[in-house]
Each structure stands twice: as C-alpha cells, then as structure tokens.
A = this chain, B = another copy of it.
Amino acid sequence: MKIIERKRALSQLHQDSKIEERRGHILGTALNLFTRSGYFNTSVHDIQRRAEVSIGSIYHHFKNKEGIAKALYDDLLVRMEGEMVKIMGEQKTCHDRCREVVSFLFAMTENEPDTMEFVVHARHREFLPDEKPICSSRPFTLMLEMVQEGIREGDIVGVNSVVAATAIFGGPLRMIHLRLEGMLEQPLPSYLSEVWQCAWHGVSSMGYMRPKEWS
C-alpha cells in the first residue's frame, strides 16, 4: 500500500517535473524573445518555433499570449519579494538592507539579464493592462518600508520617504538600465562601492567625511 502510494507519488512527481520542465521551457523561450524583441514584436508562432513545441502545447499550458507574460511577471514578483524578505531578515539596519538590495539587483542583472530586463524595462501596462504599476508591487513597497524605517530610526534625513527611496535606489536603477543597454563595459558589481556611496551619502543623516577620492 505504502509502496504503491510512494510509487504513485514518485511517478506523479516525475510527471509534474516533466510538465513543469516543458512549461518552464516555454516560459524561458518567451522571456528571451520578449526581452530581445519586445512583447508585441514576438508572436506566439515565434515562441512555438524557437521552443520547438507545438501551438497546441503552448495553449494547453497557458490561457493565451498574455497568460505567458503574466506567468513570467508573477514568478518574478514572487522571487523578488522572497529576496527582499530574506534581506530584511538577514540585515538589521536600513543602510545594510538597502545596500544589500542594490547588491542583489546588480548581481541579478549580470546573472539573469533577460529577467532583469523584464523587471525594469518592459512596459507591463501595455500588455498586462490589469496589473498595477510595478512600483506599487510588494518588492518595491518593501524597499520603501526599509527606507521609512531608516527615517524613523534617524539613519536617514527627514525627507519625504518617497523622495528618500528614489534618491537611494534611483541611481542604482539607472545603472542597471545602462548596463542592460550595453553602455557599461564593466559588470555592475564592480561599480557597487561607488554607486552605493553616492546613493547613501545623498540621504544619510550622519556627519559627512568623504575622502577626496575613493579607490
């Protein structure tokens, strides 16, 4: 009995993983095409050709083209939120938390540029009309909360919290844009130190002692 159940469970797992694999394969191909050519310049037939699956298979796993984008988007927000929560658990000060967020985003840009492009570049509203703007999604509100706590604790100067958040993350995000557009030779993490110092000094309430040059 138990063995049979185990077998069924295993086989089910095997089945699930195979299904998940194909689903993931379609998603990966779609992400690649979406970021390479844009959502609207990518047809379902393009995805089908590149993924070497059939139209029917795609429409079996996803409701429609928008459903593919939605799946990508949801997956992404979940991953990002998980990372933000993890960072908030590991780091205790606003400074360390925000720095870690930037560090994570920089690393992700290098490791999964397609994914990152889909986060920061894509005009989700254009093809996911029912989605709220990404800046009011959980990962981004968590980043805002980090900053708000920093203001409460006195680490950050008492400005409007949205202003403080954009001051901290605006520069790093622009660096990500530039990197994704191929305008930066070096990988992002090599700029982290400089970028972060500029970002943090802009809002830090601590006394200011900056050396003339950073190495």
Interface residues of chain A, those whose CB is within 8 Å of chain B, are: 37-41, 121-123, 125-126, 133, 135-136, 157-160, 162-164, 166-175, 177-178, 181, 183-184, 191, 194-195, 197-203, 205, 207-210, 212-214
Contact = CB atoms under 8 A, between A and B. Distances in A.
A202 B133 contact: no
A180 to B, nearest CB: 10
Nearest to A207: B208
A168 to B, nearest CB: 8
Contacts of A178: 135, 162, 166
Contacts of A37: 126
A121 to B, nearest CB: 7
Q: Is the interface of A mostly helix, strand, loop or mixed?
A: helix
Contact of A195 (B39, B166, B184, B212): B166
Chain multiplicity (copies): 2
Contacts of A157: 198, 210, 212-214
Given A163-B198, A170-B172, 9 more contacts: A38-B123, A41-B126, A159-B197, A160-B194, A170-B174, A170-B175, A171-B202, A201-B201, A205-B212
A46 to B, nearest CB: 14
A167 B202 contact: yes
26 contacts: A133-B183, A157-B198, A157-B210, A157-B212, A158-B213, A159-B198, A160-B191, A160-B194, A162-B175, A163-B171, A163-B191, A163-B198, A166-B171, A166-B172, A166-B178, A169-B174, A170-B171, A170-B173, A173-B174, A200-B202, A201-B208, A202-B203, A205-B210, A205-B212, A208-B208, A208-B209
